[in-house]
Amino acid sequence: MESMIVAGIMSGTSADGIDVAFTRISGRGKDYPKLQLLAHESFPFASALRKAVLAAMNAQNISTAELARLNWRLGLAYADAVRETLALHPEKVELIGCHGQTLYHQASPQTYAGKRFSCTWQLGEPAILAGELGLPVVSNFRPADIVAGGQGAPLVPMLDFVLFRHPKRGRVLQNIGGIANLTAVPPQAQPNQLLAFDNGPGNMVIDALMQELFKKPYDADGARAAAGVVLQNVLNQSLKHSFFNKIPPRTAGREQFGREFATEFLAACRAISRTKEDAIATATALTAASIAHSYQQFTLPKMGQATVDYVVSGGGARNGTLMRQLTERLKPLGCRVTTSDQFGLPAEAKEAAAFALLAWQTWHHRPGNLPSATGANRPAILGQVTYA
């Protein structure tokens, strides 16, 4: 298999924008591929587009016309992001992997129209990307894993395994986007020995409260949280949510921690304190506490006596208050908390690079899911290819 330059595109549940990663990927035979990050750029959504995405996520009522337009508008946004990245970094890209924008993810079967099934849906028309950029596009990664009995997530563990496995050190790769999720890679791990699952809310509740209370999209560096006091009663009650004790594999989204959860959480905070910063501090503590709790409950027993590098990526890695809280909770558990930047992979680039790798896997007819992470009953080739 020859070396290829692959562009990965990611826009997550925070709906704050698009990350593009240019990667060089190569591999031979059945060997695991090697990946090198060549370039990375981030592009915020235009305000009107972000408003449309947030309105469509987990919506109770929305028109088919609105969904069709949003699907095409996202395709245009993804194409623009790749085009701008190419202008800054003129690499010879040969393939694109685009995750798309998740609007709905139902990992557990439910009954609809007389049949019981799981389902997922990501928007962003791949034909626009392929047509405008003249490149083949791999998209719609999650359904094949669901059909194979998995939860359709997490899919980033393939990248975590390829880049971070170590003969002596344990590695926990913690992504904090809208949702927080981890991949645990024990020393000398084989793919079937990885553990991966969603911790719970990452930035999702914090961002929702910042928008409601301060008309800001996020808490820059955790400054508002640092100025507040954690409302312990609200935190303790929130940690009783049934999701936090659910045994992995498990996935979460706005269905669990979206606008309804944020509204109830804010009401509970206001019943105790009218100080806005206290609500942000408590939401930040919820993210840190749920991450540490899930590590201690589900992951720590599998890491043995190895030294553990706890490697944080995603937007949450830039929240100083959240990182301090995580360090305080995880250090006593034997973890050295750092960010993926220390490993040559910018915190914002990791998930985009992961979908470049998954596109490469699909292009070469190789499975992209890890059943130990998603709960699938078999490895599956992921995604659909749209040719230019």
Assigned token pair, 307? 């030294």
> Which stretches does DSSP call E strand in 130-215?
137-139, 170-176, 179-185, 195-201
CA dihedral of residues 208, 212, 218, 223 (deg, nearest 10): -120
Domain 4-153+350-386 class in CATH: alpha beta
Question: How confident is the model at residue 13, as a pLDDT?
Answer: 81
Give me the residues of the chain with pLDDT under 70, please.
Answer: 1
The whole-number pLDDT of residue 1 equals: 63
Q: Where are the domains of the chain?
A: 4-153+350-386
- Predicted pLDDT at 217: 92
Contact 53, 38 (CB under 8 A): no
Kindly tell me the burial class for residue 134, based on how many C-beta atoms sit within 10 Å of its own C-beta (0-12, 13-18, 19 or more).
Answer: exposed
Chain-centre distance for alpha carbon 259: 18
Cα distance between residue 267 and residue 248, in whole Å: 30
Cβ neighbours, 10 Å, residue 122? 21
